[in-house]
């Protein structure tokens, strides 16, 4: 970005103060900086202020990360750009460290890394809240970083505006990415740093990627070896690159036909994952056949959604596995937010986020989902079209949309057999909870 098009420190500081609704005297009082110092900065008399002074002013005005970086670079843009370009490497830009091993996603991980290794440069992982999109993207980023020494810019897009400043050497670059997406700024700075270096950007929790698609495509054109992964709860139109839907972990209901010695863990990654949560929550509970069977049934009732499994395990401080299973059979929604929800913010619990996914459906798709929930499972697309009374192509299109949203899932079928589907148990529970009282009375009759 050339000097003619880039606002100077004086202009940036004035604009920031006015956005904050502060006079020079008010800002001076909040920042413990003299009015004269602020006036000299805004009039361009001081070109290289102390970093501590800029920090005090930025804190007083509650500036965002991107705005802080903009202010700092305006004070010493040449040096900052030179340092970032010279240090940009796998060591400077590394993904966050995973807190626990990845369970049950080997196939999805191989698919994701294979597509990135080949020709796909813009991929969107889409699925329900809590299904593990971020964890899968993190594993793929870690593989590329370790195997290829590829720099990774991990950018949380759902970061709260009032969150504290990010730490680490890649924080300025993450701020530039957000600034590009939200304001269209920092394109030249990003392209000058990334250049022709192989790089992976992960936009985590970006549910409105359609508006940023032009900026992302321009960045991909300018940086020919750049790749981008987006994680999103929503399917946007147009989609951000190739869509990779992520379903919950397989969690079939245990049957009574198991032979002696058969394992309820083998081939059931949801059970394996929940047992790991159980061992952390209740080390005294050994994975006996009785405990494993109860866990397998609970996993089925909460659909194998990793976040729901962790939340359900938290109740083991209050209930035995058998008691927890009874709750899962009667009111599984009670379990999915955990004993103590991770946050008290409205709309942040898993049950609320699942409910929001239903609310976002249009009337036609919501009506189809109601029809599908009443069908014997597993059902086929042909059976869905007959029950819905619409042409096969229209029903198939809507079922595909429900699959992408994660509200229905494929059912394990025999080789060569028709593809079957089921509606998630938690989705059924939410739909039943929202039915009008008159409908419930009619159903009882």
Contact 112, 200 (CB under 8 A): no
Q: Are residues 213 and 323 in the same domain?
A: no
Tell me if 437 is assigned to some domain. no
Predicted local confidence at residue 414, as pLDDT:
73
Torsion, CA 388, CA 389, CA 393, CA 395, rounded to 10: -10
The two three-digit tokens of residue 445, written as one number: 């009759």
The total number of structural domains in the chain stands at 4
Q: Are residues 264 and 383 in the same domain?
A: no
Predicted local confidence at residue 2, as pLDDT:
35
Q: Are residues 109 and 231 in the same domain?
A: yes
* Residue-number span of the structural domain to which 21 is assigned: 7-85
Low-confidence ranges of the chain (pLDDT < 70): 1-7, 65-66, 69-70, 73, 76-90, 159-169, 256-264, 341-347, 435-445
Predicted local confidence at residue 342, as pLDDT:
59
Q: Are residues 16 and 36 in the same domain?
A: yes
* CB neighbour list of residue 206: distance below 8 Å, 6 or more residues apart: 157, 158, 181, 212, 230, 231, 232, 240
The two three-digit tokens of residue 268, written as one number: 């059931």
Predicted local confidence at residue 6, as pLDDT:
43
Q: Are residues 229 and 315 in the same domain?
A: no
Q: Are residues 385 and 280 in the same domain?
A: no
Per DSSP, the chain holds a count of helices (H) and strands (E) of 20, 7
End-to-end CA distance of the chain: 71
Q: Are residues 321 and 360 in the same domain?
A: no
Q: Are residues 213 and 118 in the same domain?
A: yes
How would you write 75-106 as a 3-class SS string?
A: HHHHHHHHHHHHHCCCCCCCCCCCCCCCCCCH
* CB neighbour list of residue 62: distance below 8 Å, 6 or more residues apart: 20, 162
Q: Are residues 73 and 171 in the same domain?
A: no
Please tell me whether the overall predicted TM-score, pTM, comes out greater than 0.85 for this model.
no
Q: Are residues 182 and 307 in the same domain?
A: no
Contact 70, 179 (CB under 8 A): yes
Measured CA to CA, the distance from residue 238 to residue 108 in angstroms comes to 23
* CB neighbour list of residue 426: distance below 8 Å, 6 or more residues apart: 302, 303, 305, 308, 332, 333, 336, 351, 354
Distance of CA 288 to the CA centre of its chain: 35
Write the CA distances from 305 to 179, 310, 422, integer angstroms: 33, 9, 15
Predicted local confidence at residue 118, as pLDDT:
86
Tell me if 342 is assigned to some domain. no
Predicted local confidence at residue 22, as pLDDT:
94
CATH code: domain of residue 141: 3.40.50.300
Q: Are residues 31 and 11 in the same domain?
A: yes
**DSSP designation for 212:** G
Tell me if 253 is assigned to some domain. no
Q: Are residues 267 and 402 in the same domain?
A: no
């Amino acid at each position: 970005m050339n000097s003619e098009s880039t606002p100077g420190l004086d202009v940036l500081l004035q604009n920031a103060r006015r956005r904050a609704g502060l006079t020079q005297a008010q800002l001076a009082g909040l920042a413990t900086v003299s009015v004269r110092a602020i006036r000299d900065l805004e009039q361009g008399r001081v070109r290289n202020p102390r970093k501590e002074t800029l920090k005090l002013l930025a804190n007083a005005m509650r500036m965002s990360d991107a705005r802080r970086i903009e202010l700092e670079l305006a004070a010493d843009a040449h040096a900052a750009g030179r340092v970032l370009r010279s240090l940009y490497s796998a060591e400077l830009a590394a993904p966050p460290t995973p807190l626990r091993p990845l369970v049950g996603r080997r196939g999805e991980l191989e698919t994701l890394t294979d597509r990135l290794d080949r020709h796909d440069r813009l991929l969107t992982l889409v699925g329900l809240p809590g299904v593990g999109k971020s964890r899968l993207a993190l594993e793929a980023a870690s593989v590329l970083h370790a195997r290829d020494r590829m720099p990774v810019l991990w950018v949380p897009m759902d970061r709260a505006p009032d969150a504290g400043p990010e730490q680490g050497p890649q924080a300025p670059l993450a701020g530039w990415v957000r600034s590009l997406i939200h304001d269209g700024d920092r394109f030249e700075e990003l392209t000058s740093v990334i250049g022709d270096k192989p790089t992976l950007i992960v936009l985590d929790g970006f549910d409105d990627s359609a508006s940023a698609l032009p900026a992302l495509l321009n960045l991909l054109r300018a940086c020919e070896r750049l790749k981008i992964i987006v994680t999103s709860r929503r399917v946007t139109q147009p989609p951000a690159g190739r869509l990779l839907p992520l379903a919950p972990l397989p969690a079939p209901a245990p049957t009574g036909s198991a032979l002696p010695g058969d394992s309820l863990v083998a081939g059931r990654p949801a059970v394996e994952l929940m047992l790991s949560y159980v061992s952390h929550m209740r080390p005294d509970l050994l994975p006996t056949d009785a405990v494993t069977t109860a866990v397998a049934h609970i996993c089925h009732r909460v659909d194998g959604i990793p976040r729901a499994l962790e939340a359900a395990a938290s109740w083991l401080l209050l209930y035995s596995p058998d008691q927890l299973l009874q709750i899962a059979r009667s009111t599984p929604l009670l379990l999915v937010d955990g004993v103590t929800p991770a946050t008290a913010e409205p709309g942040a619990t898993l049950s609320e986020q699942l409910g929001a996914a239903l609310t976002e459906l249009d009337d036609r798709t919501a009506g189809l989902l109601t029809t599908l929930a009443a069908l014997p499972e597993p059902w086929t697309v042909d059976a869905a079209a007959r029950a819905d009374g619409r042409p096969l192509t229209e029903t198939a299109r809507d079922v595909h949309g429900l699959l992408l949203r994660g509200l229905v899932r494929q059912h394990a079928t025999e080789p060569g057999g028709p593809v079957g589907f089921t509606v998630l148990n938690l989705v059924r529970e939410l739909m039943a909870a929202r039915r009008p009282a008159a409908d419930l009375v009619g159903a009882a009759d």
